[in-house]
Structure 1
């Protein structure tokens, strides 16, 4: 790994080896998203708690101040929507030159393994890695499942993560699942959690994030559970404590409650 790649990854992954990425790229396939109507107003209060921002070029240019001191992971795949035929039919939408122009520290794209568009999206990943390696620009592969949420098990996600690593991804973003160590143990590059099962309480979020960290994840790429929460700053503070301070779910819950009255 050359100096440029190491330097960019060091912006994203903190000295403790962990990271908390904040995704606000949801509009690229689902359009206007609750609490992201004005992205900067939503994330500005959260800035001190996350380490990097995952965003599209359109929102970055139109809504995020250029003086932001957080590294950018640029979403570079898309081309489908919630009302279209198949979310998996993605293409590369943004060039590496554009990512460099925007001073991105990394780029991210989705792959849909097991779908009709498996080969297409894995080809997107391979071609992107080939181009990014010329400039020491890290690639984060996102193991998307589209509408097929039942695929979130260790066998499937472990397969996805390993394939992404084999094709050259620097980091893989995937869902938490039961037996998450089977996913991380089979992946030779860092794994960050995209989220987990649908839950009813904030404590359950803390539980699965803590479990994932204990089982080999280096961090988190979680948005809606934070900025759609009734107390987004408190949620960000609690998750940051799990990621960077090894807080237990109980301790995170206490931080969450205390931060609501600050």
Structure 2
């Protein structure tokens, strides 16, 4: 039975001031109404000190196969993982390649189906919630094709995962997927980010646009992170990241602009400096060049 020999009654209740609820993750909007599990997992993705994240995306193989830079995940990606706040990947890559002692938040690709040989918008849910729990996922990622031929189907994929994620305490990342026929401007991205947020996405990945990006982040009630997109020169990619952060983005999710760089580790360090240290692009590029001198050049 319980030991009652030294039972002491509490006396320090803090006076008349009301008790305060545990704060949401600093700098990360839209979390206050969520369960502790959701907020805890979001804190694995977004750094609590500033509410920002640097995600390393290498899930491209689920529809592209072994694209340039991803031929060998064990050689090209695993050495970069310790520098990333979070990694975006498939469950197959996680199980086969990523060390179990990795501290990076795991964002699992949860939709898929067609390859580059087919219509990419015709995706299905490709991950069960039980496996996401089993793999200790910090979040699940799903493509949403607003304006695409299979728009309704992709939205249904999103809501299916949101329902499952809410039950298990796992947040969902909605990834805006833009077809070639759609105009990439602030008006479109306000629509393409607001819809997933309204339907329950906990954060949204989208593209940066030069004009009006701040209206995209302001109109979205959950955090926005920007996609790196196609490979561009390192200085330009750092400028892109800087402008996005200044425009209200909560982080970046870069893939090709990291692993297709001649010096991936140096580039990832420079991106981190932009996102977490507010380094100007010129300073970040100088950091990249300094670090690149000590790193081997990729073939």
Aligning the two structures, in what range does the TM-score lie when normalised by the shorter sequence?
Answer: over 0.9
Name the CA distance, whole Å, in 1 between partners of 2:230 and 2:185.
10
Q: Is the 8 A contact 1:177 1:197 kept in 2?
A: no
User: Is 1:213 matched with 2:245?
Assistant: yes
- TM-score, L = length of structure 2: 0.84
- TM-score, L = length of structure 1: 0.95
Equivalent residue, structure 2, for 1:237: 269
What SS does structure 2 have at the residue aligned with 1:203?
Answer: helix
Alignment counterpart, residue 66 of structure 1, candidates 100, 109, 113: 100
Alignment counterpart, residue 180 of structure 1, candidates 213, 217, 227: 213
Q: Is the 8 A contact 1:177 1:196 kept in 2?
A: no
Q: What RMSD over aligned residues (CA atoms) do the two structures have, in Å?
A: 1.4
Q: CA deviation at 1:13?
A: 0.6
What SS does structure 2 have at the residue aligned with 1:151?
Answer: coil
What SS does structure 2 have at the residue aligned with 1:173?
Answer: strand
Equivalent residue, structure 1, for 2:79: 45
Deviations 1:73-102 (A, max 9, x none): 110100011011x11000001111110011
Cα distance 1:24–1:145, how it changes in 2: closer, same or farther (>3 A)? same
Q: CA deviation at 1:40?
A: 2.5
Which has more helix, going by share of residues? 1
Name the CA distance, whole Å, in 2 between partners of 1:168 and 1:19.
20
Name the CA distance, whole Å, in 2 between partners of 1:88 and 1:8.
28
User: Is 1:19 matched with 2:63?
Assistant: no
Deviations 1:162-206 (A, max 9, x none): 00100000010001112211210110000000125764x221111
Alignment counterpart, residue 149 of structure 2, candidates 100, 113, 116: 116
User: Is 1:154 matched with 2:189?
Assistant: no
Q: Which runs of 5+ in 2 are unaligned?
A: 1-33, 295-299
Q: Is the 8 A contact 2:174 2:204 kept in 1?
A: yes
Q: Which runs of 5+ in 1 are unaligned?
A: none
Q: Is the 8 A contact 2:228 2:253 kept in 1?
A: yes
Deviations 1:43-68 (A, max 9, x none): 23323321011110111111222222
- Structure whose alpha-carbon radius of gyration is higher: 2
Cα distance 1:212–1:69, how it changes in 2: closer, same or farther (>3 A)? same
User: Is 1:129 matched with 2:162?
Assistant: yes
Name the CA distance, whole Å, in 2 between partners of 1:194 and 1:210.
13
Equivalent residue, structure 1, for 2:38: 5
Equivalent residue, structure 2, for 1:195: 228
Cα distance 1:42–1:198, how it changes in 2: closer, same or farther (>3 A)? closer
